[in-house]
Amino acid sequence: MAAVPVPDPEDFDCAWGTEARLQLLEKLNRCDRDVLPKLDTIVIPLDWDRDETDYSPLPKKLGWAAKLDSVVLVHAPMQAFAAYEIGELVHWGPINSGGPKSPTPPGAYFLNWKSKGRHSTVNRSWFLRWYFNFENSTGRSFHEFALPGLPESHGCLRLLARDARWIYDWGRSWKLDPRGLNVESFGTPVIVIGEYDFDSPPPWKDPELVEQGFELSRSGHWAARAAESLAADRLRDTGVLLIETDD
């Protein structure tokens, strides 16, 4: 990885050549296409041809999750999510979580119910596509919305359109009783780890992490191992995970 000056906005798309490269830049810089040319510096890979999961700041394997069919790990400091099947990373992407006045609380949640699109309860003019609720009492959810490159939502987890659609199609919803009053089985677990430091520069642009291709974030610099352990503890508290961690 490297952090480099941003090309002139008029030449931005041409500078990177392909749609696949522009999509990877969106992920690495935690923002959508419209914001990329406005950045001061941009994080780019030194090798563009690796598998997309190789660029994830979160681990490729979660030993404690090997007996779960699926789980989503959200790392607020790194503004990234990672989806796992039987402990193996299958997809990752950027998020924009809650802003300074409404941060997304760390904790153990579950995917509940979903909608292809609905209006926000905060502002009815906001239309939230590929909506997947994970906290019913507050309305927090994954959904598509503009990604400015920093946390500024009202507590939801904003996603790129393609990632929001991916989670919508992939995630498992809750199952309610016939009257729709009680949960008979939980949906896919969602673990939100850590809190974003609004007083510090974005960690995905940290020179040490960028230079080493984010290997430090996977091996412990950003508490990846502690995050795994905490996530496992939270799932045990809910009774979903009844195994001992092997990490």
Q: What is the pLDDT at residue 241?
A: 56
Residues 6 or more apart in contact with residue 218 via CB below 8 angstroms: 56, 57, 58, 59, 60, 224
Q: 175 or 208: which carries more pLDDT confidence?
A: 175
Q: Is the pLDDT of residue 213 over 70?
A: no
Q: What is the pLDDT at residue 135?
A: 93
Supply the pTM of this predicted model.
0.86
Q: Is the pLDDT of residue 246 over 50?
A: no
Q: How far apart are CA 1 and CA 212, in angstroms?
A: 7
Q: What is the pLDDT at residue 65?
A: 84
CB-based contact 130:168 (threshold 8 Å): yes
Q: What is the mean pLDDT of the chain?
A: 84
Length of the chain: 247
The least confident of 42-51, 55-64, 133-142, 204-213 is 204-213
Segment 186-192 shows an average pLDDT of 93
Q: What is the pLDDT at residue 218?
A: 52
CB-based contact 72:190 (threshold 8 Å): yes
Q: Each residue of 104-114: pLDDT tens digit?
A: 999 889 999 99
- C-alpha neighbours within 13 Å on the C-beta side of residue 8: 2
Q: What is the pLDDT at residue 244?
A: 42
Q: How far apart are CA 82 and CA 124, in angstroms?
A: 30
β-bridge pairing 140-144 and 127-135: antiparallel
Q: Is the pLDDT of residue 238 over 70?
A: no
Q: Which residue has the tokens 């507050």?
A: 138
CB-based contact 74:193 (threshold 8 Å): yes
The least confident of 71-80, 90-99, 202-211 is 202-211
Q: How far apart are CA 95 and CA 58, in angstroms?
A: 13
Q: 216 or 204: which carries more pLDDT confidence?
A: 204
Q: How far apart are CA 198 and CA 113, in angstroms?
A: 31
The amino acid present at 151, given as its one-letter code, is P
Q: What is the pLDDT at residue 228?
A: 57
Name all domains of the chain by residue range, CATH numbers in brackets. Answer: 2-52 (no CATH), 53-238 (2.40.440.10)
Q: What percent of the chain has pLDDT over 70?
A: 81
Which three-class secondary structure string do you get for the chain?
A: CEEEECCCHHHHHHHHCCHHHHHHHHHHHCECCCCHHHCCEEEECCCCCCCHHHHCCCCCECHHHCCCCCEEEEECCCCEEEEEECCEEEEEEECECECCCCCCCCEEEECCCEEEEEECCCCCCCEEEEEEEEECCCCEEEEECCCECCCCECCCEEECHHHHHHHHHHCCCCEECCCCCCEEECCCEEEEECCCCCCCCCHHHCHHHHHCCCHHHHHCCCCHHHHHHHHHHHHHHHCCCCCCCCC
Q: Is the pLDDT of residue 20 over 50?
A: yes
Q: What is the pLDDT at residue 194?
A: 87
